[in-house]
């Protein structure tokens, strides 16, 4: 467990050095640069090296926590695969199929280390056990959330800020349940993201890239599954609220407009909010504070009825959807 302030400071300083070197290499070699396009919110080529820095700190930390290394061989292999496919995607712009294939394989690997979703909760005194469906549902959930976090990485500081809030909630739960795995994974990625944000807040000097967004999303999914040993399954919807809400919002909106739910567009929550604020910083603050709200609600509902939790979550989703779509319609009518 990373508990020493000195260790945290050393890791943070190391990451600062790593990031500065990665920026120099990316710019001088003209590699791993995010070139602006029609959907971009930035105007300059920016290094996509945030994930490399976070992965480097994670890798170094394994030597400080050898028990995780020995007990999670398959999971570490899965994390390496996720990071690798992210790097290849940032370099070669892979089609979605190889990325999905690697995330699915990685999701299967962590199952061998015990990361499985066995129940959807208890409703009216009946436990909704998944039984033989636990493995496919685990794969579906991990693949879904890994991509969900990747999809919100659209404004300077957004994915990092939301992820940090989620991880701080996880750290709190790791402390109260004295779970060293939850504490280790949440703490090391939180350290990595905290330093990354120093270079990623507007105007960003670096981006997470797919190598970082997929890596962070995958590890958050792992920790969320581990937390199911202690908390109600439906409370996780709140603890990881913004990425899940964003994915639901986008899918429903695209289907409603008779478009493919898998074709990229500008219907994400940050796009919708940015149209009203006209300010990237304000948009990031709104969504980060929304995740703080969801995290606090989730922490208060960890022992609550799953039926009540899912009802509150769906009500919240409907409010988000109605508020954003109605305001967009009013704006279109006005124009």
Q: Mind listing the pLDDT tens digit for each residue in 87-124?
A: 999 999 898 899 999 999 999 999 999 999 999 998 98
Tens of pLDDT, residue by residue over 149-170, are: 998 998 999 999 999 999 999 9
Going by DSSP bridges, is the β-strand pair 33-34/46-47 parallel, antiparallel, or unpaired? antiparallel
Tens of pLDDT, residue by residue over 245-281, are: 999 888 887 777 777 666 777 778 887 888 888 888 9
Q: Cα separation of 79 and 215, whole Å?
A: 7
Q: Cα separation of 280 and 270, whole Å?
A: 9
Specify the DSSP element, H or E, that contains 127: strand 126-129
Is the predicted pLDDT of residue 330 greater than 60, yes or no? no
102: Cα within 13 Å, side-chain hemisphere: 24
* 3-state secondary structure at position 115: coil
Q: How far is CA 47 from CA 30, 126, 213, in A?
A: 9, 51, 14
Is the predicted pLDDT of residue 43 greater than 70, yes or no? no
Under 8 Å CB-to-CB from 93, ≥6 apart: which residues? none
Q: Cα separation of 130 and 288, whole Å?
A: 33
Tokens of 231: 């908390």
Under 8 Å CB-to-CB from 310, ≥6 apart: which residues? 121, 234, 237
Tens of pLDDT, residue by residue over 193-234, are: 999 999 999 899 999 999 999 999 999 999 999 999 999 999
Of 141, 150, 172, residue with least CA distance to 234: 141
Give residue 305's pLDDT: 85
Q: Cα separation of 313 and 57, whole Å?
A: 35
Give residue 37's pLDDT: 63
Tokens of 249: 């919002």
DSSP 266: S
Q: Residue 203: is the preceding peptide bond cis (ω within 30°)?
A: yes
How many CB atoms are closer than 10 A to CB 229?
Answer: 12
Chain-wide mean pLDDT for the chain? 90
Return the percentage of the chain with pLDDT > 70, whole number: 93
Under 8 Å CB-to-CB from 196, ≥6 apart: which residues? 15, 19, 50, 53, 54, 160, 206, 208, 212
Q: Cα separation of 180 and 199, whole Å?
A: 29
DSSP 35: -
Is the predicted pLDDT of residue 334 greater than 50, yes or no? no
Banded model confidence at residue 335, pLDDT cuts 50, 70, 90: very low
Q: Which residue has the higher pLDDT, 329 or 58?
A: 58
* 3-state secondary structure at position 293: helix
Under 8 Å CB-to-CB from 308, ≥6 apart: which residues? 301
Q: Which residue has the higher pLDDT, 224 or 8?
A: 224
Tens of pLDDT, residue by residue over 232-243, are: 999 999 999 999
Tokens of 300: 């208060």
**Helix segments in 228-305, DSSP class H:** 236-239, 241-256, 269-277, 280-300
């Amino acid at each position: 467990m990373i508990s020493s302030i000195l260790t945290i400071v050393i890791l943070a300083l190391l990451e600062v050095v790593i990031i500065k070197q990665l920026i120099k290499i990316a710019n001088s070699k003209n590699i791993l640069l995010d070139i602006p396009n029609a959907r971009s919110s930035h105007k300059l080529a920016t290094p996509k090296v945030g994930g490399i820095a976070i992965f480097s700190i994670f890798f170094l930390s394994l030597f400080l926590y050898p028990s995780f290394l020995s007990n999670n061989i398959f999971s570490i292999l899965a994390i390496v695969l996720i990071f690798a496919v992210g790097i290849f995607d940032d370099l070669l712009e892979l089609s979605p199929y190889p990325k999905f294939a690697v995330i699915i394989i990685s999701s299967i690997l962590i199952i061998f280390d015990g990361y499985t979703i066995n129940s959807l909760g208890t409703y009216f005194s009946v436990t909704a056990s998944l039984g033989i469906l636990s493995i496919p549902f685990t794969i579906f959930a991990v693949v879904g959330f890994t991509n969900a976090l990747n999809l919100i990485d659209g404004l300077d500081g957004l994915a990092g800020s939301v992820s940090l809030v989620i991880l701080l909630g996880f750290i709190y739960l790791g402390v109260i349940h004295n779970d060293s795995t939850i504490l280790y994974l949440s703490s090391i990625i939180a350290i990595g993201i905290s330093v990354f944000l120093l270079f990623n807040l507007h105007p960003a000097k670096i981006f997470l890239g797919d190598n970082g967004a997929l890596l962070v999303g995958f590890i958050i999914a792992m920790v969320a599954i581990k937390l199911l040993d202690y908390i109600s399954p439906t409370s996780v919807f709140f603890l990881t609220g913004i990425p899940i809400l964003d994915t639901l919002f986008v899918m429903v909106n695209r289907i409603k407009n008779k478009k493919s739910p898998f074709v990229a567009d500008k219907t994400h929550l940050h796009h919708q909010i940015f149209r009203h604020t006209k300010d990237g910083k304000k948009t990031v603050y709104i969504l980060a504070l929304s995740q703080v709200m969801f995290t606090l609600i989730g922490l208060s509902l960890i022992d609550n009825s799953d039926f009540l939790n899912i009802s509150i979550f769906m009500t919240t989703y409907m409010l988000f959807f109605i508020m954003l779509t109605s305001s967009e319609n009013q704006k279109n009518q006005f124009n």
